[in-house]
A and B are shown apart, each in its own frame.
Chain A
Amino acid sequence: MSTVINEPAVDVVCLGVGYMSGVVATELALQNYKVVGITKGPYWDYVNDFSMTKYDEWGVGLGRKYDSPLPLQTTTIRNNSSQFALPVRRYTMPIQYHALGHGVGGAAQHYGGTMGRQGPWGYQMLSRTNQDLGVTPLTTPLPSSINPQDDTHDWPLTYEQYEKYYVAWENAHGLCGNYNGSPTNSSTDQYSQKYPWMSQNYRLPPHPLTPVAQMFQTATQAMGYNPFPHVSSLASQPYTNSYGVTVNPCVYDGYCGGPCDYACETGAKANAAYRTIPAAMKTNNFTLVTNAYIYRLDYDTTNNQVTAARYYDAQGNIHVQPAAVFFNGMWGYNMIRIMLLSGVGVPYQYNSGTGTGTGTVGRGLTNGYLPFNGTNVSGTLSIGGNSYAAGNGSGGSVDIYDLMDDNFDHTGQNFIGGSQIGMGGYLGGGPGNITFAGGVGGPSSSNPNGSMGSAFKAKQQNKYLPKTVGVGATRFAPDLPTFMNYVDLDPHYTDAYGDPVSRLTYDWTPNTYNGAIGLVQKCKDILTKMGAQNITVGNAVNPGGAHNDWWGHHLRGGCRIGSDPSFAVYSGYNQLFLSPTSGVNYFGAGEITNTTGDTVPSGTHVAGPQSYRAAEGIAKYLNNIKLGGSVNYLAA
């Protein structure tokens, strides 16, 4: 039997200590609220934990030694509700592209650092599409020709309303860039509803551009587009953030991106451990609990209150942590799973007969990552390259927002939205000897000796000092929410403690493929303008041409925010709905709460403002309690 340890009550418990909880914990600790943060992994000290050990492609790339262990918990996946879902048992592609985070900082300990604000259209995708199509009411579902069993909804707030929270997020995390490509950066002119204008620029200058990026910049400018440097959360300069936390700059060591596995040994890679949590700890109002696996939330169904979080420590003891408010900052499936395990919120139930569903928790899942196979274009630039380890995971390139959202003419197209398009990242920004093509190959009929000996050397020479640089694009339009794609609890498989794991029912939606077909010509035009040779457009891949067989960590929706509890889990303050006019002492934020979004602008960056919105909501809620108020819901 486990020993049960009752912990003293606090004002706020943060479930998970990643990006979102980092903000919430710090904002509230600075306001003198007592906060406890609970994470299933360790605290990572970038000097002691990464300096030497990260240069380990086998351990990091294949063994995923910094990541959430699959034997502890996994998920099961299937494409539709009639299939038997199977558990994910391996860390590498295919099946699992990116491992989950583990410990303070979460998955952001080992991501590429890509950021990018979402444009205004992404917040009002449904209403603006209906407006363009002349459909009323504006809440009418999208036509099935675009998205079968559509379940798309608008966000509860507009881009303009989120803008100040973006600023807070960027000040805290020290993002690098130079605006977002708006021709005027005005909040009032005709561009204000197309591009994510900024009331202030990114705090740090962008990373140096590569030659390919400069070619892309020149070409797209000449075509009338509005290029801008890729937005990165890897500090380009020494920085002191809005909480007074000092940040070391990137040292461009090249062990950063690639398959997004590599942690940063100088703390330049933004995450909660090196931007927010130090400020929270400094207040002495924040308590960090590591290696603690949350397995239940105690929910009082009479008063509709979450009363405590229960977790196992590494020795198998049970801890009961009460609080006035709970904030769920767990990654995607885990946020949904703990709610379903604990009876918090209304579970989503899909009805395959009607093609609709009821409930909200687990509903509206979309994928920020895209199918591996899609209609693509590729070519080569006659310039040399150097892909020895150098650079980082999200600097050096240039993007355009001109071919996403409704920023271009969609006449005659059967998709909505589009994609951020960019080129020119650092060739040596991430190692790829083991996890991606380029490593030692075995014998084959065309190469009986395998890629060993002289063949290996020639390959390596060409790999590290290529005489030409390949460029290409497979740009999908956004994955749209449908009733068919969702997360629930698996009836067969369990975690290490015997609780059901999450089950992902998911397949690619047609909009993604149709978008790739629609965008390929525009991408080809850019390559032509850049002077690329041997430009090839791949065969069209139509919807249904491939099925999802993996999971990534950029999952969106599934636990959405919205203005209506009929489809949304959380309100505009990221507070759990009880009814349209009442709420629970439970808040949540993360990419999984993003209601919708176009392709590629970082889901993490888009989630960030919600963490500030939630922190503001929690402070209001706690203040109301302190004043003896009875208001339990914060109208957005």
Chain B
Amino acid sequence: MPALKVPNRPNVADIPIIESRVPRPEELVVLSRPLLEATIRIGELLRDCPAKWAFAGDLGEILFGVNVEPDHLTILTTSAGCNEISRSLTAFQTQVPRIGERQLERSAEIHLKPLPIIIKSYSSSFNIEGLRLDVHGDLQIKVGDWDWGDPLDFEPEYVYVVSVKVPAAPLELKMELYRGLGWYDRVSKIHAAMARRHHKIV
């Protein structure tokens, strides 16, 4: 550990300098203000929603300290929950609930082989103060030509976001999902966040 150099003194002072590294901005986990405000807004609007739901996607992860940069909001729920949420957020709705399928931009990486990922859900979309909110009910995943997986089920964990307590998809579920898809960079990010929280790493 280096010692302090005091001007006009022949020797260094017996004072250690602690050289802890200052993090770069991109290493800091901070939710952008528009997303923060939209999260709070949705949390307030769905405070009494009886359906099981949780923030998922990148937003759900950053709420637990994972270093990702969400650009929209995602809610995971059931089909009934999707209808319930649509009723609560009618004023913001841009797409009514319907069953849809789409291929994700990123492929799965199974045994070094890229395979397309298709998701199917009963979903609706909303515009919350300029930000897109996707609500997925009974989300299923299909990799390559494999069979469809079961609808994603989860027990939400809770996070306090300034004035609201909101449910979010547990990191364990996301980690399991990413492992199955071979997205080890995302596994690593969750691993880092869980280590910082000193939670059990599965």
Instruction: Kindly state whether residue B112 has any CB partner on chain A within 8 Å.
Output: no
Q: List B residues 115-165 near A (Cβ within 8 Å).
A: 157-163
- Is A103 close to B, CB under 8 A? yes
Query: Known contacts A72-B15, A266-B196: does B30 contact A43 (CB below 8 Å)?
Result: no
Q: Which stretch, B18-26, B84-92, B178-186, touches the partner chain A?
A: B18-26
CB of B196 within 8 A of CB of A43, answer no
- Return the CB mask of A227-240 against B: 1 if under 8 Å, else 0: 00000000001111
Name 8 extra pairs, CB < 8 A, besides A247-B65, A318-B7: A43-B22, A48-B21, A240-B159, A245-B28, A266-B196, A266-B197, A278-B23, A282-B25
What 1/0 mask marks residues of chain A from 589 to 630 whose CB sits below 8 Å from any chain B CB? Answer: 000000000000000000000000000000000000000000
> Which of the candidate stretches A309-317, A425-433, A563-571 sits at the interface with the other chain?
A309-317
In the assembly, what is the distance between CA of A314 and CA of B161, in Å?
40
B7 touches A246 (CB 8 A): no
Set of chain A residues within 8 Å of B39, measured between Cβ atoms: 240
B28 touches A266 (CB 8 A): no
- Chain B residues contacting A377 (CB-CB under 8 Å) are none
Determine, out of A7-15, A283-291, A404-412, the stretch whose residues face the partner at the interface: A283-291
Question: Which of B23, B29, B32, B62 is close to A45, meaning CB atoms less than 8 Å apart?
Answer: B23
On whether A72 and B162 interact (CB within 8 A), knowing A238-B63, A248-B196, A279-B30, the answer reads no
Chain B residues with CB below 8 A from A315, complex form: 5
Known A41-B18, A71-B13; contact A251-B23, beta-carbon cutoff 8 A: no
> Among the listed B20, B22, B64, which residue makes an inter-chain contact with A238, where contact means beta carbons less than 8 Å apart?
B64
Contact indicator A1/B25 (Cβ below 8 Å): no
Listed from nearest, the 7 A-B pairs whose CB atoms lie closest are A244-B31, A316-B5, A42-B20, A42-B18, A278-B28, A2-B7, A43-B22
A204 contact from B4, B22, B160, Cβ within 8 A: B160
Asked whether, in the complex, the Cβ of B64 is within 8 Å of the Cβ of A251, the reply is no
B23 interface neighbour in A1, A43, A253, Cβ under 8 Å: A43
Contact of A244 among B2, B7, B33 (CB under 8 A): B33
- Minimum CB–CB distance from A247 to chain B (whole Å) comes to 8
B197 touches A249 (CB 8 A): yes
Chain B residues touching A, range: 35 or more
Q: Which of B33, B163, B196 has the most CB of A within 10 A?
A: B196
Per the bound structure, the CA–CA distance linking A239 and B62 in Å amounts to 11
A373 to B159, alpha carbons, bound, how many Å? Answer: 44
B32 touches A244 (CB 8 A): yes
Q: B196 near A237 (CB under 8 angstroms)?
A: no
Give Cα A240–Cα B33 distance, bound, in whole angstroms. 11
Closest B residue to A253 by beta carbon equals: B198
Interface flag for B16 (CB, 8 Å): yes
16 contacts between A and B (CB under 8 A): A45-B23, A237-B158, A238-B65, A238-B158, A240-B63, A243-B30, A245-B30, A248-B198, A278-B30, A281-B25, A290-B20, A290-B22, A291-B18, A291-B19, A314-B5, A315-B5
Question: A246 is contacted by which of B4, B23, B62, B163 (Cβ under 8 Å)?
Answer: B62
Measured in the bound complex, the distance between the Cα atoms of B18 and A238 in whole Å is 30
**Interface pair B160/A237, CB less than 8 Å apart:** yes
Determine whether B17 belongs to the interface, using a CB cutoff of 8 Å to chain A.
Answer: yes
Bound CA span A392–B29, Å? 25
A49 within 8 Å of B (CB atoms): yes
Known: A43-B21, A314-B5. A238 touches B196 (CB 8 A): no
Query: When the two chains form their complex, are residues B28 and A314 in contact, meaning their CB atoms are under 8 A apart?
Result: no
Residues B6 and A497 in contact, CB atoms below 8 Å apart: yes
A237–B159 CB distance below 8 A:
yes
Within 8 A of B (CB), among A200-242: 200, 203-204, 237-242
Inter-chain CA distance A6–B185, complex, in Å, is 43
The answer to whether B201 has its CB under 8 Å from any CB of chain A is no
The CA-CA distance from A281 to B198 in the complex, in Å, is: 25
Known: A45-B23, A240-B36, A281-B23. A203 touches B162 (CB 8 A): yes
**A110 vs B79: C-alpha distance in the bound complex, in angstroms?**
48
Whether A314 contacts B29 in the complex (CB less than 8 A), given A246-B64, A265-B198, comes out as no
Q: Which of A159-174 contact B (CB under 8 A)?
A: 171, 174
**A440 contacts partner chain B, Cβ-Cβ < 8 Å:** no
Contact of A267 with B by CB under 8 A = yes
On whether the beta carbons of B160 and A238 are closer than 8 Å, the reply is yes
Interface pair B30/A288, CB less than 8 Å apart: no
- B164-202 with Cβ < 8 A to chain A: 195-198
